[in-house]
Amino acid sequence: MKQIDLIATSAFGLESIVANELKQLGYDKLNVENGLVKFQADFNAIARCNLWLRSADRLLINVGKFEAYSFEELFEKTKALPWYYWLTRDAEFPVVGKSIKSRLFSVSDCQAIVKKAIVEKMKEKYHQKWFAETGPRYKVQVGLLSDIATLTIDTSGQGLHKRGYRKGSSAAPLKETLAAAMVNISRWKPDRALIDPFCGSGTIPIEAALIGKNIAPGIYRNFAAEKWPILNKQTWNEAREEALDLIDRVQLLGITGYDIKKSAVELSEYHAGLAGIKNTISFKQQEVSKLNTKYEYGYLITNPPYGERLSEKPAIEDLYQQTKTSFARLNTWSLYILTSYLQLEKIIKRKADKKRKLYNGRIQCYYYQFYGPKPDTLKGVFAKKD
């Protein structure tokens, strides 16, 4: 089957996580770069990757890459690419762009030139002067980095963090893609207990449950490429059938989400219901100072409030002081905490075994990782405290 060049984009710091997800899907011809993973695969990968990638932002087709030092060069080299292979005669193809450290710094001009070049190519192919653009949508992006232009087509439509289950959000929502990456970085296994004491709208517990039950994160949504004639319905039907067959309907999960706000707990339960996993997660209203567990071993994975505004600092410092006693009760647990609050280690009086720089939106954070002891295999991983 014909191989095509694809790009899975990601937030900075998550490239290796996305690469591992692609390897698990069977795609091993990978090239990891800042903010993206390039790979080769067959057409079926467009459907499978959109359905299964948990931590990627989008899946793009890499149409072409070349040096561009002038607008004329950008036009001619764009026109030389086989756009008619992907775009239909009636294709709607908006062009977006970005330019970093390039001579062609005017993004609007670059977008207009790429649009014109594609139209001229389509004129040659179809022998007509005007295109209605009433058909399937193909969002084209021209990205210029250090005078190298990359032309792509977006297969996803809405970003892959749009799973379809989150209809509302808490004050500072965590992207589903980042939440899934946090769970994967922790190497949590479905047979281990998991707690999120600041669950907000339920994103981390829900993403953990989707991983634990092996549910494809995109199984309940649609994608831009589903309307493309080059990918028939059978391709998408087979990919969804595969995803449904691979759901683990037997695995029991010990996942609990807590939040001090009743509205957050209700919202989390609502979202879990939309994700089809309401009965696999327990959500409870509780402040962090009362956090405890009946399980001897487990994982705490959370994204507590940061207190970015100066007026919030005193309340945030008090909140993190409360975590000190609560986390001490979990001395046999592994703790994974994403925050921009730099005094965490000092307050809980414990040095992280590992820190990973990640970005929650535009906020630079650290993912603090505190490793607990390995479970006593004689007791079992779901062993309760004595």
* Per-residue pLDDT tens digits for 8-19: 999 999 999 999
Judged against a pLDDT cut of 80, whether residue 85 lies above it is answered with yes
Same domain, 213 and 139: no
- pLDDT, residue 29, reads 87
- pLDDT, residue 173, reads 79
Q: What does the angle CA 372 – CA 374 – CA 375 come to, to the nearest 5 degrees?
A: 110
Phi and psi based region of residue 380 (left: phi greater than 0; alpha: psi -120 to 50; beta: remaining):
left
What is the extent of the structural domain holding 254?
Answer: 176-370
Question: Cα–Cα distances in Å, from 11 out to 203, 226, 250, 360?
Answer: 17, 25, 33, 9
Please spell the DSSP secondary structure of 94-150, one letter per residue.
-EEEEEES-S---HHHHHHHHHHHHHHHHHHHH--S-----S-B-EEEEEEETTEEE
Same domain, 104 and 204: no
54-81: average pLDDT: 98
- pLDDT, residue 2, reads 86
Query: Residue 309's pLDDT band (boundaries 50, 70, 90)?
Result: low
Q: What does DSSP say about strands 148-154 and 139-145: parallel, antiparallel, or unpaired?
A: antiparallel
- pLDDT, residue 104, reads 97
Same domain, 136 and 62: yes
Asked if residue 380 belongs to a domain, the reply is no
Same domain, 147 and 180: no
pLDDT tens string 254-301: 999 999 999 999 999 999 999 999 899 999 999 999 999 999 999 999
Same domain, 182 and 300: yes
Asked if residue 159 belongs to a domain, the reply is no
Non-local CB neighbours of 305 within 8 Å, separated by 6+ positions: 172, 198, 312, 316, 319
Total domains in the chain come to 2
Same domain, 93 and 199: no
Query: Residue 315's pLDDT band (boundaries 50, 70, 90)?
Result: confident
Judged against a pLDDT cut of 90, whether residue 83 lies above it is answered with yes
Same domain, 79 and 15: yes
Q: Distance between CA atoms of 166 and 158, rounded to whole angstroms?
A: 14
- pLDDT, residue 209, reads 98
Question: Cα–Cα distances in Å, from 189 out to 97, 212, 228?
Answer: 40, 7, 37
Judged against a pLDDT cut of 70, whether residue 63 lies above it is answered with yes
Same domain, 269 and 364: yes
pLDDT tens string 162-186: 999 998 766 667 999 999 999 999 9
Task: For the chain, give the percent of residues with pLDDT over 90.
Answer: 85
Same domain, 329 and 245: yes
